[in-house]
Amino acid sequence: MGYIDALKDEVAASEIEKQEYLKILYMKSNNLKHLVDEIFNMAKLDANEFPLKEEELDFSEVTREVSLDTLRKANRKYIEFQVNNDSKATILLENQFQIFDYEVHDEGNIRIYSHFGQQGYTNRTFVLNDIEVLKMMMSEDRLEDYFTKLVGGGTIG
């Protein structure tokens, strides 16, 4: 409700800030709508009101799709943070950065996909919010790309 009150009370300093507030409200309202839809679907499932459709599955097709999805995930570039409080860090990722494409590996390891160039800002935000960053690393091929651009060629190892 803070963003709505800020817009209503005209707290925003500029038109750009108002647009940012509206963008955040739009994203949060969409997320809330999806959550409510999921809750209704779960209630329908619990009440056996959701029609179940039986269909024949091609096991080889399912295996192929799962394998392709696993391969795609394995080849994605990422930044990984090892933090002391992963639940607080994930809340910050979603609320402050609007990043939803992440995975929590083990306890305290958060792997963020497709948000390069923000690792310093993300690290700083974690530290400012009392989340200790124990380690930060990027996927190896991303480091290779970085060093290639930095020195004009060559390899890391």
Does one domain contain both 88 and 128? yes
Of the listed ranges 97-111, 116-130, 143-157, the least confidently predicted one is 143-157
Token couple for 147: 């060093």
Does one domain contain both 42 and 89? no
Residue 28 lies in a domain: yes
CATH of the domain at 141: 3.30.70
112 and 142 in contact (C-beta within 8 Å)?
no
Residue 54 lies in a domain: no
92 and 120 in contact (C-beta within 8 Å)?
no
Host domain of residue 96: 76-151
Does one domain contain both 80 and 137? yes
User: What pLDDT is attached to residue 81?
Assistant: 84
pLDDT band at 157 (very low <50, low <70, confident <90, very high): very low
Half-sphere exposure of 94 (CA within 13 A, CB side): 11
Residue 56 lies in a domain: no
User: What pLDDT is attached to residue 64?
Assistant: 81
* Mean pLDDT of all residues in 7-26: 80
Q: Is 112 exposed, middle or buried (0-12, 13-18, 19+ CB in 10 A)?
A: buried
Strand-pairing partners, residue 109, are 82, 105
Residue 53 lies in a domain: no
Strand 133-138 to strand 102-105: parallel, antiparallel, or no bridges (unpaired)?
Answer: unpaired
Residue 133 lies in a domain: yes
Does one domain contain both 147 and 81? yes
Residue 134 lies in a domain: yes
Residue 55 lies in a domain: no
Residue 70 lies in a domain: no
Specify the DSSP class assigned to residue 137: E
Does one domain contain both 139 and 90? yes
Does one domain contain both 146 and 86? yes
88 and 128 in contact (C-beta within 8 Å)?
no
Number of domains in the chain: 2
**pLDDT tens sequence across 58-104:** 888 888 887 777 766 666 777 888 888 888 888 888 888 888 778 88
Could you tell me the pTM of the whole model? 0.42
**pLDDT tens sequence across 27-50:** 888 889 999 999 988 888 888 877
User: What pLDDT is attached to residue 35?
Assistant: 92
**pLDDT tens sequence across 48-70:** 877 777 888 888 888 888 777 77
Does one domain contain both 104 and 144? yes
- C-alpha torsion sign, points 15, 17, 22, 27: positive
> Containing H/E element for 60?
helix 59-75
Q: CA–CA distance from 5 to each of 49, 56, 57, 71 (Å)?
A: 39, 52, 51, 46
